Structure 1
Amino acid sequence: MDRGTQHTATALIGAVRERTHVARVAEAAAFVAVGDWASAHTSEEVVGDPITALGEWHEESYAEALAGDHFLELGGPGAPVVAEFCIGEIAAARGCSFDAARRLVGDAVELRYRLPRVHARIAAGEVDVWRGRRVAQATRTLTFEGAGFVDRHVAYVAAKATTGDIDRLVAEAAARFDPETTEAERAEADGGRHLTIELGDVGYADPLTGTLRGTVDIHGTLDLADALDLERTVAHVARQLVDLGCDQDLDVRRSMALGEIARRCDGVATLEYDADQPPTQPSTRTRREVVLFVHLDQAATNGTLNGMGPGIDACTGTTGIDLARLDTPGAPRGVVTAEQVQAWCAAPDTTVTIKPIIDLNLDDAVNGYTAPDRIADHVRARWPRCVFPYCTRSSRTADLDHCQAYDDNGPPGQTSTKNLFPLCRRHHRMKTHPERRTGRRWTYRPTNPDHGEPPHAVIWTSPMGLRYLVDPDGTRPWTPPDET
């Protein structure tokens, strides 16, 4: 690419960035204005009051009240009710349907009155409106205290939190601040577990030709621990089928794997796809493995929370459900009740592995290329996400990349917690291979606090020469201090 083309391309990318910023600021200002408009059309009543806003506002009959402007409960408990007709003005001003405007106003009210920290970041242009609205839509059913818990914990990472992150935090808030409902819902979910094999529904793939389908559908709901055991075994047997000569695609092999698992339980040796391979012997029952990643603070280790007695939740000040955090490779992350973990660990043939606490302030290194588990766990604990700009993929499933390329003839200790960073497979490829058009690739390096750069971060440079700073809190465009 010649200098003139490079200048034009840089200008175009610069225009995209500038106009995107302008649009984001304008959208945030419009969203705040919607909240201001709704605030000017509220009642003194709030959602969750024992006296309904409708009955308080109108003394006429219920039917007469419905014929006029009445108040709607658009936010969660503690948010004020909003006059219905004011939404029509918003719909007209934005050129959208009433239902879309009502959802918009509801999100604005939820953020303004129950999620003030997230709302402030939106107003400052630090968080996209759509991200803030996603949080608001998830917290609507929480108590006022539960919404405040989510607001405190998500506000500083709202610009990068994924839907899964928000859902897990909302579930934790519900468990902390409404434990009775949470336990009732968990018990109800346990009662809803089932596995159905539609043996009576063997049909025809094509009713016109009469081709027999010869397959059945299976569907069900499992306990999380059972589902993880099943997934691990199905994946393992599907890989075995490839080794033994089966050339079907992955989905077909996974379906075949269930049959193989069933036959092994009956003591029948199968998997005879390759005549050169000896028949696989029936396997014994696989032991369940529960891996616990322990994260404890000082208050937890001495049995009290903020000076309170054992069993007292520091967030609520009352006795609540004991919670455990899931942070196991291959498993969904989040919180479950301690009682459920006890049930998993108490199952027969269970191996419990407790991982040690990792001190992220200490560094470690080895001389070989491959990182041992202790270093891999350290790097992934330090960087919960892929370190590429704005990527939200979990580091648990990411590759570990040598920032400074590994040299077989180089010095010892190249595989270290200082030189390894998690990159999801797509971004690992983008870092490794150049762009087809420019012949350049993405590069990154750790920051140097001695040069005025923030600590514990990396700086990426795009093929166009644009720079981004990534730290555990997110991503932002980066301009060196000496260039500002």
Structure 2
Amino acid sequence: MDRGTHTTATALIDAVRERTAAARVAEAAAFVAVGDWASAHTSDAVVGDPLTTLGEWDAEALTGDQFLELGGPGAPVVAEFCISEIAAARGCSFDAARRLVGDAVELRYRLPRVHARMAAGEVDVWRGRRVAQATRSLTFEGAGFVDRHIAYVAGKATGPEVDRLVAEAAARFDPETTEAERHEADGDRYLTIDLGDLGYADPLTGTLRGTVNVHGSLDLADALDLERSIAHVARQLGDLGCDPNLDIRRSMALGEMARRCEGVATLEYDVKKPTRARREVVLFVHLDQAAITGTLNGVGPGIDACTGMTGIDLARLDTPGAPRGAVTVEQVQSWCGSPDTTITIRPIIDLTTEDAVNGYAPPDRIADHVRARWPRCVFPYCTRSSRTADLDHCDAYEQHGALGQTSTRNLFPLCRRHHRMKTHREMATGKRWVYRPTAPNNGEPPHALIWTSPLGLRYLVDHDGTRPWPSEPGREPDAT
């Protein structure tokens, strides 16, 4: 490497170091600002003290709000609705903002030494948050013990080191709980069925599998019983000529056991007289022009314009309690092909049409229409499914108002938390989150919503997500 090249390389690395340091300082400053915001929305009550009560100002100024215990014992409680401002400002979900605020409160009030090093840019925010998440269950004295012992090495302490120190603090300052937990082996048991997303075989090919993962930790006796039952049913399936692969039969055995169980605790297996619970398949069918006419983008009958392949052979799952994603039509056929399967089809033919009724509660056809048009809660950055959300009247429903107020044009899905927040005022000024459909005639994007926060900040929500939106002409966001 010649001298000129060396100088250029050094300059590049120096730039990386400088920008990394600047990013660390900026992230720490943003985290401290989150803590300042949370501190401005706390109550006199603290976590773990039943004698403290909410002040008169809190009860009057935060109608419909509630206070959350986000930190450990001794930390103040925080107003729930203030978290949504953080979520909108950072462009994240409410749950992510809630975790962030909880970590900020924990560090600010129970780990002041670690917090001070973070604020000075000496400790990465993610490391400080890792400590805060580990100490949340400790007593106030236990958290102080951890803070004293880890603050000077917080910039390099590993996760296991933090966990060992937290365990020592728990044993020192809360020995009764520690001893009780030692005898509670039940706390280590869990069973998880990953229904969040469908599996894909290869990230390069994207081959659809239509499977989900199951994992857990069981009591030994339960595990032995489950193993015997799975092995027994797998042998039954083999005797009946099912797939010769034992692993596949074992996975199928769990489904057979679930259907034979019929909701009772006792499982009985009899090859001659199997008992099966009826499977119910509810299909939300989304039909567009391609499905109706058999063409796609005018290319030809059943031709995919992107791949050039024939056949429209994928289905999109959009059913509560089921994993979301694409599956092959053949797999849907296999689900529905059994004679003991009950099939319910709910068609949504054309989402461009409008429908309305005169009553307050929408019928199923309108509710399904709205939820298909808006698959997620329409609050900024919220990711909760509309299938379990409330349907909110954008223009408030008036008992003796005009006809047709409950319509596909006036209803939008809001998850329960954001529905409550939109309904109840947040600040002493009486301002609240409000939203309206966009006006394309005024140059705004079509098929979108514009939300305005109590501080006057605006966000545009459409099918591509959420993004900040300019303030109304002639109005600046509130400085408060």
Scaled by the length of structure 2, the TM-score of the pair is 0.45
Higher relative contact order (CA 8 A, sep 6+): 2
TM-score normalised by structure 1 residue count:
0.45
